[in-house]
């Protein structure tokens, strides 16, 4: 190899490196722009009063979004209560019975469910729950959101359980431990951190969903704790306020966006932190 080829190779190596760094940098720019833009427009309106007071009647200036914050936590909480146990059980099934044909089918269906647009899930929840009950309700929103969260919990559970070495399971089998106790006492504790991280990422994902709530939980000017009545949520409130003609509501939409972004980012970062700290 002559000197010229070597020089050209070194140059090419450098060029590739520069491209890799450049594009990875470009990909994070949108995120920073979004956070920057929302914070600049919204942060100044965020204060305790905004968080803890109710919306003012239309036309009046001021007021807060307490009902939407409470509503978001209730609706997402109920959705998580539905999606987590079912998701973990299906995840265990997918990782434990890999050879079965039925497993392949379930896997494809889970992938498909993940790909269904959230507004379609909203329509389904509308047809199944809102129409028969003849009213918008928080529970119908929770059910729609749980459909979105379900594949995320299933996949993270399955992936985590697949990482547990077969030797650990065999050790338990070799001591005559019954199968259900191997799942409960060995597999789930060993995978708990990964399952928790997946769950948190699922929760932060559905916290921001708006489309499935448009014709399910709908929205509510008042603080409502009844799951069978319409309930407000932060993303729905942002949607309504941002598309309104009022300047004050636009500002409040940005403030609400700021709060939503802070909640979602904190949950995500907490999940990552747990993963690093407790990973075995």
Instruction: Report the interface residues with other proteins, using CB under 8 A.
Output: 99, 165, 167-168, 170-178, 181-182, 185-186, 189-190, 280
Nearest distance from residue 193's CB to other proteins, in Å? 10
Q: Which is nearer to other proteins, 192 or 226 (CB)?
A: 192
Nearest distance from residue 114's CB to other proteins, in Å? 28
Q: Which is nearer to other proteins, 190 or 244 (CB)?
A: 190
φ/ψ of residue 63, rounded to 5: 95, 170
For the chain, how big is the Rg over CA atoms in Å?
Answer: 24
Q: Round to whole Å and give the CA distance between 71 and 66.
A: 8
Q: Which is nearer to other proteins, 8 or 100 (CB)?
A: 100
Q: Round to whole Å and give the CA distance between 114 and 153.
A: 11
Nearest distance from residue 169's CB to other proteins, in Å? 9
> Angle at CA 45, nearest 5°, toward 39 and 49?
135
Taken as a whole, the chain contains a residue count of 280
Comparing CA positions, the residue from 72, 217, 89 lying closest to residue 158 is 89
The residues near 109 (Cβ < 8 Å, ≥ 6 apart) are none
Nearest distance from residue 201's CB to other proteins, in Å? 22
Q: Which is nearer to other proteins, 197 or 257 (CB)?
A: 197
């Amino acid at each position: 190899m002559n000197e010229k080829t070597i020089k050209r190779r070194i140059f090419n190596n450098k060029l590739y490196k520069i491209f890799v760094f450049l594009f990875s940098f470009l990909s994070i720019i949108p995120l920073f722009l979004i956070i920057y833009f929302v914070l600049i427009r919204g942060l100044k309106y965020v204060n305790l009063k905004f968080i803890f007071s109710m919306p003012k009647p239309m036309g009046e200036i001021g007021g807060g979004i307490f009902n939407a914050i409470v509503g978001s936590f209730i609706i997402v909480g109920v959705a998580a209560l539905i999606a987590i146990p079912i998701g973990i059980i299906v995840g265990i099934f997918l990782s434990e019975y890999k050879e079965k044909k039925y497993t392949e089918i379930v896997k494809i269906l889970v992938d498909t469910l993940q790909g269904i647009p959230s507004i379609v899930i909203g329509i389904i929840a509308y047809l199944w729950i809102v129409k028969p009950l003849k009213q918008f309700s928080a529970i119908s929103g929770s059910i729609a959101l749980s459909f979105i969260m379900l594949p995320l919990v299933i996949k993270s559970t399955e992936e985590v359980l697949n990482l547990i070495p077969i030797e650990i399971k065999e050790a338990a089998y070799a001591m005559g431990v019954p199968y259900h106790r191997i799942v409960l006492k060995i597999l789930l504790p060993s995978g708990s951190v990964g399952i928790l991280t997946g769950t948190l990422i699922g929760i932060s994902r559905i916290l921001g969903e708006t489309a499935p709530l448009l014709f399910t939980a709908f929205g509510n000017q008042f603080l409502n704790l009844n799951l069978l009545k319409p309930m407000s949520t932060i993303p729905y409130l942002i949607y309504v306020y941002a598309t309104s003609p009022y300047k004050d509501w636009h500002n409040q939409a940005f403030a609400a966006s700021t709060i939503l972004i802070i909640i979602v980012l904190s949950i995500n970062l907490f999940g990552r932190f747990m993963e690093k700290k407790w990973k075995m």
